[in-house]
Structure 1
């Protein structure tokens, strides 16, 4: 539901805020007061293209805020959640248009594109009139309108489920038979690559051991020299650590009874002497085992070079070659078994396609039945709305050769004939704004129980009508408001009297000479005065006021 509209610096609007309610709200006012400007502003927040000429020169930018309650709109809730734009049950749309042409949009405080605004707006509001944002003009919306009226959700789900299964099978067929060039060439390449990898590749642990061996062999000469130098310093030279520690022990021995602390120091030196001897023994053994082996070093380095070259060729790290080989082996196994798998998949695809076609035909038949019923119902309503002889023809055209789609293979089009002597034409090509509004109204009333849009706006629904037909239009709008929130711009008192709420749009001139528009919700007494104005023109008599009161009382 549309809860609030806030507009700042847009065309002749300085700043207004409109609170809206459930039921039927009517907007009235003198011609040129700015009623349609409100819809232009709302359209911006619903994804319409920005028009910089609507930005006042003095302001520099226009700003529009629209607040919706989406608690009863599951499609919008799902879309918001999918786009990570959800924010409880309230949804705030904001649009800013600069005079320099820059336009910005937000949903619940997060920046979005104009396309995203349009996607969400199409789920929240239907605008019927001489404006670009008209949901029923879109072929997909015509299909959804017909399907909603038909109530065959189970048939749609069956078609959609079969389509999803068919897509999965098609994707696997493409994966097995395409994407890598010729099937046999791909298998030959995999066999060659595996032969090359199996001959050379090492596991990650084996590769690490080989690298360690290379480092040890490459540094063997330096390591042996270091071990000999250490032994020379520690044990085997003229002045060594061992002889120095032994001399220190001897110097302390005569004085050990002086203090226990001295004994502890002497004992630590003795322990160090033992550890020193063990370290020297370890160095001798390590140096004896370590041999200079240039031939083995060359073999190891050549092996590592080949592994690095192979890794670059396969675009992996050298330690990952073995894992890469296993991945290629799985690809080869899958391709080697693909022939038999493909046969099974083609059979499965044919079966699913047959089931899909049957389900699509069943859906088409249901649509044709519903199309005739909806067309007849709309024709009755159009006659009541002053369009006797008008006819809506809903064309359901199955295309058996079309690629399967989730919604079936039907092309659905709403054709309208507004006069008996005219040929039917697509709904979006109807020229008269008034006729288009009444056709939209008739469709909305006929599908009121099933339509998904929570808010409907009618502009010029009363163009070219009057008298009893105008009262019928008002009643139909009021009936529609039992299922939707309805906002109607009207010039007719018969329509205005049917409103649950009435808002008056007024144009005034400020002290600086600038013309601006204001909007206010009318009290019961003010409604009487406004409807009397609509009835009586310039001079409002008591008789006119009584007539206005009678109209309002008759509606109750």
Structure 2
């Protein structure tokens, strides 16, 4: 429900902070005092159209902040979660309008789009006025209201669940058909491509291995030349050429010819021996290297043929070589899907048929429940209309089957509340047939009956008592009080009979300060409330008789 409303610089209001409670709150005041400004301000916070004319003269901007207490199960909390907005104890809607007509919206102090503000506002407050009807006048809300009135929420949930299952089955069937159709169109290509790639048999990491081997083979001739040159330096074929080994052996023989004893030459002889051994070892290693590194033109040709074949296949299929094994697996899966596609489509068709039947069964039971609830609702509304001076009016709840394309989670029915205000008149849309006053009272009668199932916790009635008085006004007050037992109700009224039924009473008055007028709102205590109702009864001059009549109304309202 609405817990507080803070208004800053809106038309005649400089600063106003109001607190609200449960039950019926009445707002009274003379014509032109500014009651409509309060409703316009609340409308701003709910996302209604902004106008630069709402900004108080001489001020750069106007702002309105409306705070609501929202139950954990209220759908507004799901929207906050969906939008990533922290759901605090209170839900605070704020709107700022600048003097040039631009506006900004906030929810719990986070900037939001106007569409979200309106979406939340529609779940929090319903406005019923002579010139603007929000909620019951919207045919889109009628099915939900009828279901709530008939206690059909659980069955409606079953319909929504079976509809979801049916639509999922339909999507699965469409996907299966699309996949098999695509596979059939590409069947010849698929079989050729799979055969070609199967024959090629690409392996993971093969391209890198082949490229490395190719580079090594291409370098083979240069490696062989280098090794041969090194061998020639150690052991030239021309024996007359310098030969390190021959030189070392000559040095050994020379040292050995030294006269005995020649122990001082032994270290040199040992070193020369080690050098000879090292040269022999080096020569053996280079010969082995020359044997292993010899150029292999045939192997180079084989490696290049394989590498070029892989790259050609990759270009053909517009993938990298590394992706060829995965592509082959995918193409094989598509072929397998084609081969098994008929069975899959058949199974999907059976699932779609069975889920559709389940949906229609649940929707059919919902339709029966709605028709029964419609009859009961029509009878209940008929009892409420005569005291509201609508004894010639008749409400018709039309439950008609939608075309299949319009079936949805709410069922197969189009539920519409229609009204006829005169005998012989064909029932029509609520906001097209009834006059402003009739429509407001008709909405009140509907709310009396439907209050239990209303998802909106706060109702606002703007001059629902327009053009009536006496017993009819008393009947309006009684019904507003009954609705307020379940919902928070705010009503702008000129009727003392209605004002006397309020649990809270706010007086709206216009005061002139210097050269400027200002609207003030004052919560009334019991004495001030008695005086205000007496004023409403007597006019400008309040008499003792008017005060006595006010006492009678107030006493009667408490019985």
* TM-score, normalised relative to structure 1: 0.83
Closer, same or farther: CA 81–131 of 1 in aligned 2, 3 Å: farther
Q: Distance in 2 between matches of 1:127 and 1:117?
A: 16
Q: Distance in 2 between matches of 1:10 and 1:229?
A: 101
1:394-405 equivalent positions in 2, closer than 5 A = 394-399=397-402, 401-402=404-405, 404-405=407-408
Is 1:484 the counterpart of 2:487? The answer is: yes
1:438 Cα deviation (Å)?
Answer: 1.2
Aligned residue number for residue 386 of structure 2: 383
Q: Distance in 2 between matches of 1:280 and 1:137?
A: 106
Q: Distance in 2 between matches of 1:282 and 1:454?
A: 96
Aligned residue number for residue 392 of structure 1: 395
Conserved in 1, the CA contact under 8 Å of 2:11 and 2:57? no
Q: Distance in 1 between matches of 2:408 and 2:282?
A: 80
Q: Distance in 2 between matches of 1:503 and 1:318?
A: 80
Aligned residue number for residue 100 of structure 1: 100
Closer, same or farther: CA 124–335 of 1 in aligned 2, 3 Å: farther
Aligned residue number for residue 22 of structure 2: 22
Aligned residue number for residue 162 of structure 2: 162
Equivalent residue in structure 2 for 1:351, among 344, 354, 376: 354
Q: Distance in 2 between matches of 1:217 and 1:106?
A: 72
Closer, same or farther: CA 435–403 of 1 in aligned 2, 3 Å: closer
Structure 1, residues 253-291: CA drift from partner, whole Å, max 9, x if none? xxxxxxxxxxxxxxxxxxxxxxxx999999997786445
Report the 3-state secondary structure (helix = DSSP H, G, I; strand = E; otherwise coil) of the residue aligned with 1:84. coil
Report the 3-state secondary structure (helix = DSSP H, G, I; strand = E; otherwise coil) of the residue aligned with 1:452. coil
Q: Distance in 1 between matches of 2:225 and 2:57?
A: 88
Q: Distance in 2 between matches of 1:230 and 1:17?
A: 102
Equivalent residue in structure 1 for 2:503, among 500, 503, 517: 500
Is 1:371 the counterpart of 2:371? The answer is: no
Q: Distance in 1 between matches of 2:337 and 2:382?
A: 60
Structure 1, residues 317-342: CA drift from partner, whole Å, max 9, x if none? 43233223323332332232121221
Closer, same or farther: CA 413–15 of 1 in aligned 2, 3 Å: same
User: 458-467 vs 329-338, which deviates more?
Assistant: 329-338
Aligned residue number for residue 51 of structure 2: 51
Conserved in 1, the CA contact under 8 Å of 2:501 and 2:557? yes
1:82-121 equivalent positions in 2, closer than 5 A = 82-121=82-121
Structure 1, residues 406-438: CA drift from partner, whole Å, max 9, x if none? 111111111111222533111132452222211
Closer, same or farther: CA 522–170 of 1 in aligned 2, 3 Å: same
Is 1:531 the counterpart of 2:533? The answer is: yes
Aligned residue number for residue 520 of structure 2: 518
1:385 Cα deviation (Å)?
Answer: 1.4
Q: Distance in 2 between matches of 1:218 and 1:488?
A: 96
Closer, same or farther: CA 339–459 of 1 in aligned 2, 3 Å: same
Equivalent residue in structure 2 for 1:436, among 436, 439, 442: 439
Conserved in 2, the CA contact under 8 Å of 1:43 and 1:133? no
Conserved in 2, the CA contact under 8 Å of 1:48 and 1:133? no
1:207 Cα deviation (Å)?
Answer: 3.9
Conserved in 2, the CA contact under 8 Å of 1:23 and 1:500? yes
Aligned residue number for residue 337 of structure 2: 334
Closer, same or farther: CA 182–467 of 1 in aligned 2, 3 Å: same
Q: Distance in 1 between matches of 2:491 and 2:37?
A: 14
User: 143-152 vs 355-364, which deviates more?
Assistant: 355-364
1:262-277 equivalent positions in 2, closer than 5 A = none
Structure 1, residues 129-181: CA drift from partner, whole Å, max 9, x if none? 14556011222211110011111223222322221121111111111112685
Aligned residue number for residue 6 of structure 1: 6
Conserved in 2, the CA contact under 8 Å of 1:55 and 1:62? yes
Conserved in 2, the CA contact under 8 Å of 1:68 and 1:92? yes
1:185 Cα deviation (Å)?
Answer: 0.9
Larger radius of gyration: 2
Closer, same or farther: CA 181–50 of 1 in aligned 2, 3 Å: farther
User: 277-286 vs 340-349, which deviates more?
Assistant: 277-286
Structure 1, residues 100-132: CA drift from partner, whole Å, max 9, x if none? 343322222222222212222221111111455
Report the 3-state secondary structure (helix = DSSP H, G, I; strand = E; otherwise coil) of the residue aligned with 1:97. strand
Closer, same or farther: CA 119–312 of 1 in aligned 2, 3 Å: farther
1:408-447 equivalent positions in 2, closer than 5 A = 408-430=411-433, 432-447=435-450
Q: Distance in 2 between matches of 1:523 and 1:228?
A: 118
Q: Distance in 1 between matches of 2:231 and 2:55?
A: 91
Q: Distance in 2 between matches of 1:228 and 1:394?
A: 106
Structure 1, residues 504-550: CA drift from partner, whole Å, max 9, x if none? 22222232x23332223222222122112111110012222232233
Q: Distance in 1 between matches of 2:225 and 2:61?
A: 82
1:21 Cα deviation (Å)?
Answer: 0.8
Report the 3-state secondary structure (helix = DSSP H, G, I; strand = E; otherwise coil) of the residue aligned with 1:204. coil
Conserved in 2, the CA contact under 8 Å of 1:91 and 1:108? yes
User: 357-366 vs 292-301, which deviates more?
Assistant: 292-301
Report the 3-state secondary structure (helix = DSSP H, G, I; strand = E; otherwise coil) of the residue aligned with 1:94. strand
1:80-479 equivalent positions in 2, closer than 5 A = 80-130=80-130, 132=132, 134-178=134-178, 182-200=182-200, 202-214=202-214, 216-217=216-217, 289-292=292-295, 296=299, 300=303, 303-304=306-307, 307=310, 310-311=313-314, 314=317, 316-399=319-402, 401-402=404-405, 404-430=407-433, 432-479=435-482
Conserved in 2, the CA contact under 8 Å of 1:71 and 1:90? no
Q: Distance in 2 between matches of 1:188 and 1:336?
A: 13
